[in-house]
Amino acid sequence: MAISVLDLFKIGIGPSSSHTVGPMRAAHDFVHELAERAPLAAVRRVEVRLYGSLSATGIGHGTDRAVVLGLMGERPDRIDPDRAVAAVDAVRASGLLQLAGQVALPFDWDADLRLLPVSLPYHPNALRLAAHGADGLLHENTYYSVGGGFVVDERTARAGVPQGEEVELPLPFDTAAQLLAVCRREGLRISEVMLRNEGAWRSEADTRAALAQIWQAMQDCVQRGMVQQGVLPGGLAVRRRAAAMHRSLREREAGEGNLIARTLGALDWVNLFALAVNEENAAGGRVVTAPTNGAAGIIPAVLHYFTRFEPGASAGQAADFLLTAGAIGTLFKKNASISGAEVGCQGEVGSACAMAAAGLAEVMGATPEQVENAAEIGLEHNLGLTCDPVGGLVQVPCIERNAMASVKAINAAQLALRGDGAHAISLDQAIRTMRDTGRDMLDKYKETSRGGLAVSFIEC
């Protein structure tokens, strides 16, 4: 299984990579499959069935709206988030859905889109789509949104085909131990190994251009998040804080003259960067899965920290940061999970914290062994983290959780840089522990909003 850095970092919209981006991609793919089997004009009705976690928290995560947009031919990387709300509201109001933007179909939101509180075999995030013509079923398929915007269909899931393309990499690795061995054998840094492997898909120039686009999208998200105000949608009355925090920091920054104030101020900025991204995500704005939407603020916050506060930092180092973070992300994807519905928030925030710690260590001059240590520290102190969004919304505790993990990632890199890379627990062992912990975790703590803070909030 070969996973590209651009598989892990995808431009999409909020609030969830597994509940919004993945289902929209699945619905978009379904329409294209349908068009290959029958004229779209022959379709009389489409049905949507959401299962498991998509049923439990799908409304709060916008899964219903995402699927409808996908059926209308929209893609998460191209859709205008500001237009999406109006487009879905028009379907609700008119009872008509423009299939692939071409054919108007009657669509009863309650009858044609159903939430079924049962889980399908392969993954907790499942949806089944069906298209009917005048004489019966035209096409049906089941899809699994397996985290980070990755989607597999029923045939692929049953065949047990690994996620990711079957591409031959020049420097393959499946574990952190193998990655370190490659680095030692080839005399390369982790970012250089990943860049070599990206050559299996595209030229180095194209990879760097794509990563520059990803970094720009992250910066745009932070900038937009720092000026937007008001209350986030969903009914919890959570107010955006980033804009007011940004104003306060700018006013305070000029008067800070001592080292302690500057250090604490840097942490304030890290918190701001993370909050800005995840408030945008919660509002359904444009974000980058990193590696998921629920944890989308951590890598941008830490990379912003590096470019703003590290002496001598350059914009060109963003590619090395992302390549290294991507290398660590592939280990989570191959050996455990990045899906909160599968292993809890340790798979989202925990993996993002490890990826950010590794990326920061790399651009600060760490050895491969120190980078691996930074990632392990970042993950180790997120093990057991549950996914318990209040009201099924990616707001509480998700927004603040990104800020906390961003600071933790910076500290993990600092700790690793103060050592020589030797440590008792390896990253591979920590990833296996995360996988096993996720398997043991009760379903009510895995993105169903049936336990943890989600229940405590309601009881209070």
Do residues 399 and 428 both lie within one domain? yes
Contact 143, 151 (CB under 8 A): yes
Strand partners, 48: 113, 129
Do residues 152 and 19 both lie within one domain? yes
Do residues 227 and 306 both lie within one domain? yes
Contact 346, 382 (CB under 8 A): yes
| Proportion of the chain in helix, strand, coil states, percent, rounded to 5 | 55, 15, 30
Residue 169 lies in a domain: no
Contact 262, 195 (CB under 8 A): no
Do residues 224 and 152 both lie within one domain? no
Q: For residue 251, what are the contacts with CB-CB under 8 A and spacing of at least 6?
A: none
* pLDDT given at position 263: 61
Residue 333 lies in a domain: yes
Residue 5 lies in a domain: no
Contact 179, 369 (CB under 8 A): no
39 preceded by cis ω (within 30°)? Answer: no
Do residues 289 and 362 both lie within one domain? yes
Number of structural domains the chain divides into: 2
Residue 6 lies in a domain: no
Ranges of beta strands (E only) in 148-232 are 150-153
Closest CA to 426 of 355, 380, 379, 376: 376
Closest CA to 70 of 101, 95, 103, 44: 101
Cα–chain center distance at 290: 5
* pLDDT given at position 314: 87
Do residues 425 and 306 both lie within one domain? yes
Cα dihedral: 49, 288, 299, 321 (round 10): 130
* pLDDT given at position 104: 96
Do residues 290 and 429 both lie within one domain? yes
Closest CA to 298 of 427, 190, 413, 211: 413
* pLDDT given at position 456: 83
d(CA 383, CA 405) in angstroms, rounded, equals 12
d(CA 338, CA 351) in angstroms, rounded, equals 7
For residue 42, what is the DSSP state?
G
Contact 342, 292 (CB under 8 A): no
Do residues 435 and 389 both lie within one domain? yes
Do residues 261 and 355 both lie within one domain? yes
**Structural domain of 47:** 15-159
Of 102, 134, 159, which residue constitutes the final position of a domain? 159
Do residues 140 and 191 both lie within one domain? no
d(CA 269, CA 275) in angstroms, rounded, equals 10
* pLDDT given at position 293: 96
Which residues of the chain fall below pLDDT 70? Answer: 160-165, 255-263, 457-460
Cα–chain center distance at 402: 12
* pLDDT given at position 460: 44
Q: Which CATH number characterizes residue 65's domain?
A: 3.30.1330.90
* pLDDT given at position 158: 86
Residue 168 lies in a domain: no
Closest CA to 9 of 171, 150, 157: 150
- Tokens 């710690």 belong to 357
